[in-house]
Amino acid sequence: MPNDSRPALLFASGNPTKQLIYRPILDQMGLAVYDLSEASNLPLDQPVEDAATVTENAAIKAAHYQSENHPHVFAHDVGICFDALNDEPGVQARRWGGKLGDSVSDEDWMDYLLMRLKDVPSEKRTGRFVVGWALATGDKQVHTLLLESPFVIADKPLRPMTSGSPMTALMVGDDDMIAQRQAVFVKQLKTWLPLLQLADQTI
């Protein structure tokens, strides 16, 4: 846990893309953010994220890591829905609902997506991120929020991907995909009441 006067917040993720998107915003809010690699006294087991929605999965993760040592925990889960694929893959985006293995690489995931969309015209290559946030607080409450963010997918990689997020190579838009994703979420983060209340606390 960071040793400063700001309220400490454990960001319960090891995904480098999520770190790049969220950590700078949370830091700007006056929170002393640290991740799982920087934390001690964590549970030995991993959270079982087997719920039907991204908010439930985020809540499971936040509650799993919340403790006296880590009283405030922010967790995130994301599903991906492609309109032309009847909203596949959904909540289990990385494993594609069980069609891909737990250890699928970024490149293999991207290749599978492009194969599934190979006959889909550009005007129908649309979809949305379904994002769930959860904040576990010292009073044992878990607050959740659901967001959606639309996108358009190209038929080939447009740029190098960010590790852990093959979608960054394929999304139509600015080349700085991290900044683009931050722009989508910054307003919601900075106006989400549970986070604002935490940022206003003094230790």
Catalytic residue among 77, 87, 155, 174: 77
Contact between residue 147 and residue 188 where contact means Cβ atoms under 8 Å apart: yes
Q: Is 200 a catalytic residue?
A: no
User: Quick one: which of 188, 183, 81 has its CA closest to 144?
Assistant: 188
Contact between residue 170 and residue 115 where contact means Cβ atoms under 8 Å apart: no
Residues 131, 77: Cα–Cα separation, whole Å:
6
Question: Active-site residue numbers?
Answer: 77
